[in-house]
């Protein structure tokens, strides 16, 4: 699951991991088209299922819109993501807004999310005032980081990495393998456990999956893929509305209002 504020490079990172264009990097700049998106890919023998979550702390977006997209995102990652990738743009200073996004996520997903999180700095090649390799620039970024960013890195036990957005394809493949290796190591540390979302969301999703499976006479995996793809395409508004109502009735949203 990719999280971070608008313009942080979540979509570009998703495409890097997928090895293809599955996300539109331009859509995040338009609040009207900034929606949850779910894509899967099999690359180098590794199956990736990636959900791009809209910026929870984007103050220009109406609260109702943020809640709706969060409901969609939570449903699409059911029963829960194995890894949460918090994405920062190396082009920007780590601002109070970004830290507010992190604080919001910790309130919403609880501190337990840190066990499943890594940090990725995108566009590290855009740091012009430091010469050297990707690692040299990342080292500079960390050594000059403000205290609140160091707090984030400490929370995730210093699981961080940087990527170059303009790298040639051979270098992109190397970066992709480095990130996947980090993801696999974290999954191994957590013994394959995923970050659990509320059981009632799983139940609502499972009910919808079983309905699709019966109607279309397909496998459960095929039915789940259909349902999650349709959620991202806004073709399951009734299901998302049920998740929203459940969330509001149990106070899931109270920490981000």
- Report the CATH number of the 2-196 domain: 3.40.50.300
Q: Are 57 and 5 in contact (CB under 8 A)?
A: yes
* pTM, entire model: 0.83
pLDDT in tens, 150-209: 999 999 999 999 999 888 889 999 999 999 999 999 999 999 998 887 788 888 899 999
CA dist 22 to 19, 38, 51, 171, 194, Å? 9, 9, 11, 19, 23
- CB–CB of 51/67 below 8 Å? no
What are the tens digits of pLDDT across the range 114-154?
999 999 999 998 888 888 889 999 998 899 999 999 999 99
3-state helix, strand, coil in the chain (%, to 5): 55, 10, 35
The separation between CA 159 and the C-alpha centre of its own chain, rounded to angstroms, equals: 15
d(CA 241, CA 72): 9
End-to-end Cα, the chain, rounded Å: 22
């Amino acid at each position: 699951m990719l999280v971070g504020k608008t313009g942080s490079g979540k979509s570009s990172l998703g495409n890097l991991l997928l090895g293809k264009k599955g996300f539109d990097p331009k859509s995040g700049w338009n609040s009207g088209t900034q929606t949850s998106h779910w894509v899967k890919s099999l690359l180098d023998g590794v199956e990736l299922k990636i959900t791009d979550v809209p910026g929870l702390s984007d103050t220009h977006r109406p609260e109702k819109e943020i809640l709706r997209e969060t409901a969609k995102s939570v449903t699409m990652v059911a029963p829960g993501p194995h890894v949460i990738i918090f994405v920062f743009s190396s082009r920007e200073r780590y601002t109070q807004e970004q830290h507010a996004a992190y604080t919001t996520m910790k309130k919403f997903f609880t501190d337990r999310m840190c066990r499943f999180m890594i940090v990725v700095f995108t566009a590290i090649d855009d740091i012009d005032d430091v010469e050297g390799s990707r690692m040299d620039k990342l080292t500079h970024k960390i050594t000059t980081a403000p205290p609140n960013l160091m707090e984030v890195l400490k929370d995730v036990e210093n699981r961080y990495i940087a990527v170059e957005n303009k790298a040639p394809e051979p270098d992109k493949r190397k970066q992709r393998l480095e990130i996947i290796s980090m993801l696999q190591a974290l999954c191994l540390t957590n013994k394959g456990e995923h970050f659990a979302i509320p059981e009632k969301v799983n139940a609502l999703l499972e009910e919808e999956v079983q309905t699709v499976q019966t109607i279309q006479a397909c496998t459960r995996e095929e039915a789940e893929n259909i349902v999650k793809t349709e959620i991202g395409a806004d073709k399951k508004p009734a299901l998302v509305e049920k998740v929203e109502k459940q969330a509001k009735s149990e106070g899931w949203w109270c920490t981000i209002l």
